[in-house]
Structure 1
């Protein structure tokens, strides 16, 4: 199940955090198609002797296979980086076999082969292609990969507009490749990201609050209705409490709490580098000079000492890339239980049909409905 066979050998690969019960693989048919193409199984092999940059490699499968070519991985995901490190170590590769960069880091000065695993977010693709465009040249080989359902006309138009002429392959196992020829004559324009908007006047917690959104974060162009509902039913934080905005996104929830209670110490936490950069920009634009806040990219609350948090606020995701799963939410809830002091509280916003109250009762022994409407529910669980 976790064994990937390629022209470079067989590789045992896992996601992060590793869970033997997880039925999802660390690669898919798009990764296999891309690796077959690079190896020249269907045509001539791609010359990988220059600088190879891999954007959006979801669990490190591609760079682990290509580790002998010293590729550069560019990702927005902390979990992807951890999976890559684990998969490289399992393979016995050198610690520096792959250069790990985030989407916030400066790209390599010159890119000879650019491999793009098409992300779910078209905005993130747009932003990253703009950032990478000055570093490719007329001879750069650009190959994108994705499942058919991930590659749309709008996807191809972005490659063509930002890099150059673009075409697609035939579909194989519901996967497709994108071939782009860089055009040095194309005008280079800056990325349109980040973008900003103000909270609507009917948001009780922080009407008119300006919000900064880097590409790729959830609902980067407008306030989503779930967060709006949460903002109108936040707990009243008082005194020098330690509050965590878990899965912070653009940081609007934690910033609203800080404005209501300037004595609170906020921790904005997400596994997305784009999200944490957005949260910091949102907070800095609104908070007073004496308010306390930390901004951390990480694996949930796993790095926090037990019993050190008073309040956790969470809008958990129920997708990981294209897969629907509650595994991330479950880990967030369990991490919150461990991090909270006795009497500390976890508040979450979720779709009613997801049944989070069942999980919270199993973990905390209690769960209270704070507010609900036909679509969403705000739940509160207390650490005993």
Structure 2
């Protein structure tokens, strides 16, 4: 017997705080809108994409009796939270987590989706649904109105012949898409990942839709690249923490052939992108790409050098929690006298936190927007 309640859902192991929630009105609206079709769906015909902490998956299982649910979550922390919440509710056997692709979506008739903030991510998700799901698939995608744009409608219309927009409820809205456009009139092969070559850096960057910054190189990372030749010159091992598309890891591996490099990120899209970046730059044999929650799979005192461009938001909320979590793990994994090189928006003032969680920290660079610091492991 399931013991499911939205109120019991937790975000853990993601950051938890009084102003951060595991479920919101858009989750409830998606499930309410889908109630009728979920009741008529057979086992294995329901897919959930971007369920943040399990509300959609477990709500579909507990409230509508859905079974064999296939789930894709970009964030590993969300995948882990779903697992913990499912165990707590006695619903662990009702779903399985899968990568984005044919196994996730083959013959799916109902797709529930939390709309991603990134239009590129939405485009890749919609493209995959169009190519692999059943011809009569219905996509019920929702989000908070403040995060939705008319451009989302246009993205979905590129892949589906019918789109309906629901009235607003509790500052949330639903987009219902169906009639996927035939592969006879659109490419049967995905255009993802995309790639861009940067002649000035001698690097090719690959990116899937949900990867932060896409195939561009964000300005913080580009600034940190200016310091690569100064980073722990005798290092034998390095970690690109929160690697995104793998730009920093690739730059280190290209410039230092003897260096053993690990690129790690909790985003499935980032990991797939970074793997593509390493292949494109002919360094896949020298860089190991890992999907991890911070550095949980790395041993203490195991790295000579860690590089980090930390996020300053969690979902749609500006919050220092994720950066502090990354600093703490970096401090654990860094060898004594090893170095953490971090780039951060100057106004965030991370230096005291870095000193507390990692070790003595000093500034080595600063421009109009960013500060670069080096923290030495204790």
Say if 1:358 and 1:240 are closer, same or farther in 2 by CA, change over 3 A: closer
Over the aligned positions, Cα root-mean-square deviation in angstroms equals: 2.1
Q: Which residue of structure 2 lines up, in the alignment, with residue 368 of structure 1? A: 362
Provide the rounded CA distance (Å) in 2 between the counterparts of 1:272 and 1:18. Answer: 13
Q: Which residue of structure 2 lines up, in the alignment, with residue 329 of structure 1? A: 323
Whether the aligned pair in 2 keeps the contact of 1:367 and 1:379 (CA below 8 Å) is yes
Q: Which residue of structure 2 lines up, in the alignment, with residue 120 of structure 1? A: 117
Provide the rounded CA distance (Å) in 2 between the counterparts of 1:183 and 1:357. Answer: 50
Deviation at 1:198, TM superposition (A): 2.0
Alignment of 1:60 with 2:54, yes or no, is yes
Q: Which residue of structure 2 lines up, in the alignment, with residue 91 of structure 1? A: 89
Normalising by structure 2, report the TM-score: 0.91
Query: What is the SS of the residue equivalent to 1:222?
Result: coil
2:202 aligns with one of 205, 208, 223: 208
Whether the aligned pair in 2 keeps the contact of 1:144 and 1:178 (CA below 8 Å) is yes
Provide the rounded CA distance (Å) in 2 between the counterparts of 1:140 and 1:25. Answer: 30
Query: What is the SS of the residue equivalent to 1:368?
Result: strand
Unaligned stretches of 5+ residues in structure 2: none
1:313 aligns with one of 293, 307, 311: 307
Unaligned stretches of 5+ residues in structure 1: 1-7, 202-206
Provide the rounded CA distance (Å) in 2 between the counterparts of 1:327 and 1:134. Answer: 38
Alignment of 1:80 with 2:78, yes or no, is yes
Alignment of 1:102 with 2:96, yes or no, is no
Provide the rounded CA distance (Å) in 2 between the counterparts of 1:104 and 1:296. Answer: 19
Deviation at 1:49, TM superposition (A): 3.1
Deviation at 1:102, TM superposition (A): 2.3
Normalising by structure 1, report the TM-score: 0.89
Deviation at 1:78, TM superposition (A): 1.1
Q: Which residue of structure 2 lines up, in the alignment, with residue 10 of structure 1? A: 5
Q: Which residue of structure 2 lines up, in the alignment, with residue 3 of structure 1? A: none
Say if 1:342 and 1:34 are closer, same or farther in 2 by CA, change over 3 A: same
Alignment of 1:157 with 2:173, yes or no, is no
Say if 1:45 and 1:69 are closer, same or farther in 2 by CA, change over 3 A: closer
Whether the aligned pair in 2 keeps the contact of 1:104 and 1:274 (CA below 8 Å) is no
Which consecutive aligned stretches of 4+ in structure 1 deviate over 6 angstroms post-superposition? none
Alignment of 1:256 with 2:290, yes or no, is no
Provide the rounded CA distance (Å) in 2 between the counterparts of 1:216 and 1:164. Answer: 24
Whether the aligned pair in 2 keeps the contact of 1:37 and 1:45 (CA below 8 Å) is no
What is the number of residues matched between the two proteins? Answer: 367
Say if 1:333 and 1:65 are closer, same or farther in 2 by CA, change over 3 A: same
Alignment of 1:26 with 2:22, yes or no, is yes
Q: Which residue of structure 2 lines up, in the alignment, with residue 204 of structure 1? A: none
